[in-house]
Structure 1
Amino acid sequence: MIRHLGSSLTDVTYVFDEPTIGLHPHDIERMNDLLRRLRDKGNTVLVVEHKPETIGIADHVVDLGPRAGTEGGEICFTGSVEELRSSDTLTGRHLGDRAALKPSVRKPTGKLEIRGATRNNLRDVSVDVPLGVLVVVTGVAGSGKSSLIHGSIPKGANVVSVDQSAIRGSRRSNPATYTGLLDPIRSAFAKANGVKPALFSANSAGACPNCNGAGVIFTDLAMMAGVATVCEQCEGKRFQAEVLEYKLGGKDISEVLSMSVREAEDFFGGGGVRNPQAHAILDRMADVGLGYLTLGQPLTTLSGGERQRLKLAIHMAEKGGVYVLDEPTTGLHLADVQQLLGLLDRLVDAGKSVIVIEHHQAVMAHADWIIDMGPGAGHDGGRIVFEGTPAELVAARSTLTGEHLATYVGGA
């Protein structure tokens, strides 16, 4: 952005896809200033964004929806920010949302000791991270949050790190295969039809012989980019025609894999076929806000935030442990943040310790304990500038985070 501001070019269209990812509210203010300066040079600036701070500086807003996945894809609103606020779209209704500070916070059940941490820019940091509560680690971008949590927690602490990195697997992998959901589905189909479960796998005996169960034919065009065309034999359904003759609750296997998580939840909850094992996995996927994903959707089409929530859905089945989530609000619409806070509460109430590296003020306000890194970034960071409850942070206003959180919760 700085490089383009120094350019003499004008009348250029810039497209930014969620530029606030990884940014503290203080950094978002500075980024908003850069966006305005790019516009004022005579350029067009298009921003794909969820953060209200950035939506608020727009000259014109285009709101897509009404919801996600197959329930979206329509333009619900175009106009000014003020017109958006008074509109009845999901974004308009939630644009003014503010999470309140909790009247009381949970008491820790133990502590995770970090001693003398010096990774990257950390300056001999020692801290006790409370366990059995919701802990938020925050601070400006580059202040040392990830170095402290990902890089300095002692080995053997039973920590499960749920990040946004790519999920290993081929383009054949999908939410059903990755979560283990396909196993009970295949078993149910096999039992209902008196055949072997392998027939209901597109990577095994039931695969279409023409496309080998991929659903598409890939053609290598040498020096040009390869192309993928829908398989004419199975019409993209991935299975042999004979396999599609077998039904479960009136649906064949390709129809089940075309269902959204929410639809499948109803289907396996008794709406078509009762299957407690499949329903439990689907419940967890819906719990993390992925109710709109289709079961057979390739994992390669998922965003970083969706991948993180899919991993979390799997780990939710495990007992005990410490969960570390890295910016779980990434890619989340304003309406979904409240659902995420409910999920974090349920994890803690189920006996898990949750540590969240996060900049979103709604998550900070909802925390039981905050560890604020800073005071600046890089060489100016690497220290803990505050430890305590969100209410104490707001009252002290001694850090950049405290100032922004106080403004957010109405303490300005």
Structure 2
Amino acid sequence: MFERGAIEVNDAHQNNLKHINLTIPKYKITVFAGLSGSGKSSLVFDTIAAASRRELNETFPSFTQQYLPKYGQPHVKRIDHLPVAIVIEQKRIGKNARSTLSTYTGIYSLLRLLFSRAGQPFVGYSDTFSFNLPQGMCQTCQGLGYVDDIDSKALIDPNKSLNQGAITFVSFGPNTWRWRRYVNSGLFDNDKPIKDYSDHEMNMLMNAPQQQLKGAPAKWPRTALYEGVIPRIRRSIIGKKEAQHHKEALAKIVTRRPCPDCHGTRLRPEVLTCKINGLSIADVLSMDLVHALKFLHDIDVPLVTDVIREVGTKIQSLIDIGLGYLTLDRSTETLSGGETQRIKIAKFLTSDLVDMVYILDEPSVGLHPHDIQLIKNALINLKDKGNTILVVEHNPELIPIADYVVEIGPKAGKGGGQVTFTGTYEELLNSNTMTGDYLKRPLTYRTPRQFDEKISLKHVQTHNLKDVSVAIPLGVETVISGVAGSGKSSLVDALRPKLKEPFIDLAQGAIGTNIRSTPVTYLDILDDIRKEFAMASGASTSLFSYNGKGACPRCKGKGVTITNMAFMDPVAQECEMCHGKRYNDEALSHLYHGKNISEVLNLPIEMAIAFFKDTKEIDHKLVNMQKVGLDYLTLGQPLTTLSGGELQRLKLAVQLNKTGTIYLLDEPTAGLHMKDVAKLIKLFDELVAAGNTLIIVEHNLEVISKADWLIDVGPNAGIYGGEILYAGIPEKAQAEAASRTGQALKAYNQQRQLN
């Protein structure tokens, strides 16, 4: 069928896929479109990518396999002609205080080599310039660039004894295992108030370094080391995973400041004396990529020509994909998912590997139409090198790059999982498929709603904003747009302290999900459902909890049993005892309106609304799920199976029905098909009509065209942005040549006219 070969998928039935057979051309860009939850990720990531990664891992010895990531056996009969897959996902880089843009990309290693060979005076070899190694790191901050001061007074209630809970920091309270290390040490009178301690006792309680106790009481563990409260918090909580659980508590006791010795450079003073053209390695690391490239081009030392060429290639590829505003010392934990994905794309652009299949997860997320053009260029370059590109995408700005389009649908969840279209982009436009219909629609602008009140921001200089002043209307919908990194989020940061009314911040944090998290637990209606069952049956509510008394004894309420297979993948099987129902026989024996608890939790929300129509506590929360377009999910579906777009709307559903409130949203259309975006726009209109204010950071042109007010930030990112390019009615932005968003709105409709 395809002259240069194809990937042949036979009988894919992973998750909601309906036994799909599909032919995907090689050496082309194929875009997979369809509603959120329709099955695109199940096909592309959970089937094609998983099969390729699994096959590749099995080429290694079994000893090596135990250290490799595990990919379960996808539910597919077979996949023929499958290349090695490289998956470029939206996942943020792990939270590591030592990881920066330069260390993550390998640029730092090359810069260290450069300074060790060409820097003057000579201070040592490559390792000497590393802030992650003892040879180079500042001893005061251990190469972190900052120090954390802990306020001892905030940790202690001086009027209480240890037995009364004098150590006030979370996880050190009475009867906790950390508390026992102090009361069982034999060092203190556990009933004496802290204010009566001697200086020695106070120092032992708060500041003592790790040590073995001499003559410790019998209650003291034989191998344990004693340690004061402050060094213990520093060692075991700050900088560790546990810190994420105690953010608020840590904020009250910890003050972070630049290291007084290295002033944030992370390196020993001797290292900084070594310079090239008057600049130390720390000076270069503080530069953005554009200026760093200029620094390299100004070096004229033949010995390091090859090093300069290699590091220059890496930096240029990042600039070409629109990341020139990032500094080399930028912490990776502050990078957005979109920035991380572009860094990964840039990395592969410099690779000499060919005949690979690159699989991308919505590379347009978080990107302005101007940035999307750069992504298009990068993907075409990857293809032209001799690779196959598979892209899961909803954005009408990026879909036209496709040589071939696969639409999955027709609906989401159980109503999806079928191939509803295959063909070229032009054939898609001429089809009457859902995606084709939406792609043909031009933007239409709303008649802006009037507003009387506004919040004025004056002379804002947060982060990269350049002394900007702008007014944000209240009682209507305002979109803040601009290229990634232009200063949109900084503007919202400056706005938050000015908000006198209560506001709902949907821009913060992802939902923590695990195998036990479901829509009913997140909506907080499982207890209400259990109460209904308890009243109908006379049994206790705990019997209807799969995390408690009602759990299946075999799988402990998970619905599956997981068997560890040593160096092979763990095998998850439907529980033989409860057959995936999670509950024991006693819990399943009780009925409510003719259904047992498992049958109720398997109801799609659309049907559950009718089932619980007489129970207001449950009904209104389920109706909110319908309003955000999630009524195809079942009540008990694990949140781990939801896409990013679905999780975003789940957060919004919880916060509906609040009036006179300001909603702050950050790219709410992320991961949404154009049909879902239309639903979201309708919901936004309802929220404004109910008296709410919406302030949305967004790139989606459809959302922008339906807003009442537009604030465009730019023109570019980082130090090259931070200006207000336009503030006013969205439609009139088209006439502003300086407005990147205005020009994108204009170009979108011009393209529709050509089609």
Aligned-partner Cα distance in 1 for 2:513–2:353: 42
- The code of the aligned residue for 1:315 comes to Q
Counterpart in the other structure of 1:143:
486
**Does the alignment pair 1:281 with 2:624?**
no
Aligned-partner Cα distance in 1 for 2:499–2:391: 42
Aligned-partner Cα distance in 2 for 1:226–1:119: 48
Aligned-partner Cα distance in 2 for 1:228–1:118: 53
**Does the alignment pair 1:315 with 2:315?**
no
Choose from 236, 249, 260 the match for 2:604.
Answer: 260
- The code of the aligned residue for 1:306 comes to E
- Bigger shift: 365-374 or 321-330? 321-330
8 Å Cα contact 1:114-1:153 kept in structure 2: no
- State the number of aligned residues: 407
Counterpart in the other structure of 2:402:
58
SS in 2 for 1:91: helix
After superposition, the Cα gap between the structure-2 partners of 1:169 and 1:48, relative to the gap in structure 1 and judged at 3 Å, is: closer
Aligned-partner Cα distance in 1 for 2:408–2:460: 45
Q: Deviations over 1:93-151 (max 9, x none)?
A: 2221233011x211224223434433321223332211110000000111011121145
**Does the alignment pair 1:354 with 2:694?**
yes
Q: 1:48 offset after TM fit, Å?
A: 0.8
Choose from 701, 718, 733 the match for 1:378.
Answer: 718
Q: 1:45 offset after TM fit, Å?
A: 1.1
8 Å Cα contact 2:462-2:491 kept in structure 1: yes
Q: 1:248 offset after TM fit, Å?
A: 1.8
Q: 1:401 offset after TM fit, Å?
A: 0.9
Counterpart in the other structure of 1:3:
347
**Does the alignment pair 1:71 with 2:407?**
no
Q: 1:19 offset after TM fit, Å?
A: 0.3
- The code of the aligned residue for 2:718 comes to G
- The code of the aligned residue for 1:110 comes to E
Q: 1:222 offset after TM fit, Å?
A: 5.9
Q: 1:217 offset after TM fit, Å?
A: 2.6
- The code of the aligned residue for 1:278 comes to I
SS in 1 for 2:702: helix
8 Å Cα contact 1:164-1:308 kept in structure 2: no
Bigger Rg, which one: 2
- Bigger shift: 212-221 or 384-393? 212-221
8 Å Cα contact 1:397-1:406 kept in structure 2: no
Q: 1:176 offset after TM fit, Å?
A: 0.6
Aligned-partner Cα distance in 2 for 1:225–1:156: 51
Aligned-partner Cα distance in 2 for 1:399–1:237: 55
- Bigger shift: 88-97 or 223-232? 223-232
**Does the alignment pair 1:171 with 2:515?**
yes
- The code of the aligned residue for 2:460 comes to A
Choose from 245, 249, 259 the match for 2:593.
Answer: 249
**Does the alignment pair 1:216 with 2:556?**
no
Aligned-partner Cα distance in 1 for 2:713–2:414: 41
**Does the alignment pair 1:16 with 2:16?**
no
Aligned-partner Cα distance in 1 for 2:466–2:559: 53
| CA RMSD across the alignment | 2.1
Counterpart in the other structure of 1:110:
453
Q: 1:220 offset after TM fit, Å?
A: 4.5
Counterpart in the other structure of 2:7:
none
Counterpart in the other structure of 1:125:
468
- The code of the aligned residue for 1:353 comes to T
Q: 1:396 offset after TM fit, Å?
A: 2.7
Counterpart in the other structure of 1:324:
664
After superposition, the Cα gap between the structure-2 partners of 1:337 and 1:169, relative to the gap in structure 1 and judged at 3 Å, is: closer
Aligned-partner Cα distance in 2 for 1:214–1:109: 53
Choose from 100, 108, 127 the match for 2:444.
Answer: 100
After superposition, the Cα gap between the structure-2 partners of 1:217 and 1:115, relative to the gap in structure 1 and judged at 3 Å, is: farther
Aligned-partner Cα distance in 2 for 1:140–1:365: 17
Aligned-partner Cα distance in 1 for 2:454–2:611: 43
Counterpart in the other structure of 1:185:
529
Aligned-partner Cα distance in 2 for 1:172–1:2: 37
SS in 1 for 2:401: coil
SS in 1 for 2:472: strand
Q: 1:40 offset after TM fit, Å?
A: 1.8
- The code of the aligned residue for 1:128 comes to A
**Does the alignment pair 1:27 with 2:371?**
yes
- Bigger shift: 292-301 or 189-198? 189-198
SS in 2 for 1:101: coil
After superposition, the Cα gap between the structure-2 partners of 1:163 and 1:290, relative to the gap in structure 1 and judged at 3 Å, is: farther
8 Å Cα contact 1:164-1:307 kept in structure 2: no
Aligned-partner Cα distance in 2 for 1:113–1:203: 50
Aligned-partner Cα distance in 1 for 2:560–2:597: 17
After superposition, the Cα gap between the structure-2 partners of 1:98 and 1:180, relative to the gap in structure 1 and judged at 3 Å, is: farther
Q: Deviations over 1:202-251 (max 9, x none)?
A: 12222222222122233445666544332222111111111112112221
Counterpart in the other structure of 2:575:
231
Counterpart in the other structure of 1:341:
681
8 Å Cα contact 1:188-1:248 kept in structure 2: yes
After superposition, the Cα gap between the structure-2 partners of 1:223 and 1:110, relative to the gap in structure 1 and judged at 3 Å, is: farther
Counterpart in the other structure of 2:269:
none
Q: Deviations over 1:293-334 (max 9, x none)?
A: 121111222222222211111111334321111111111111
After superposition, the Cα gap between the structure-2 partners of 1:168 and 1:320, relative to the gap in structure 1 and judged at 3 Å, is: farther
8 Å Cα contact 1:165-1:307 kept in structure 2: no
8 Å Cα contact 2:726-2:736 kept in structure 1: no
Q: With CA pairs under 8 Å and 6+ residues apart, which has the higher RCO, 1 or 2?
A: 1
Counterpart in the other structure of 2:551:
207
SS in 2 for 1:56: helix
- The code of the aligned residue for 1:76 comes to T
SS in 2 for 1:325: strand
Using structure 2 for the length normalisation, give the TM-score.
0.52
Q: Deviations over 1:1-31 (max 9, x none)?
A: 3333333332221111100001101111221
- The code of the aligned residue for 2:505 comes to S
SS in 2 for 1:108: coil
Aligned-partner Cα distance in 2 for 1:11–1:225: 27
Aligned-partner Cα distance in 2 for 1:385–1:62: 38
- The code of the aligned residue for 2:451 comes to P
Aligned-partner Cα distance in 2 for 1:181–1:31: 42
Aligned-partner Cα distance in 2 for 1:265–1:409: 40
Q: Which runs of 5+ in 2 are unaligned?
A: 1-344
After superposition, the Cα gap between the structure-2 partners of 1:30 and 1:209, relative to the gap in structure 1 and judged at 3 Å, is: same
Aligned-partner Cα distance in 2 for 1:83–1:136: 34
Q: Which runs of 5+ in 1 are unaligned?
A: none
Aligned-partner Cα distance in 1 for 2:611–2:379: 47
- The code of the aligned residue for 2:720 comes to D
Counterpart in the other structure of 2:728:
388
8 Å Cα contact 1:348-1:354 kept in structure 2: yes
- The code of the aligned residue for 2:733 comes to L
Counterpart in the other structure of 2:743:
403
Counterpart in the other structure of 2:28:
none
Aligned-partner Cα distance in 1 for 2:525–2:543: 16
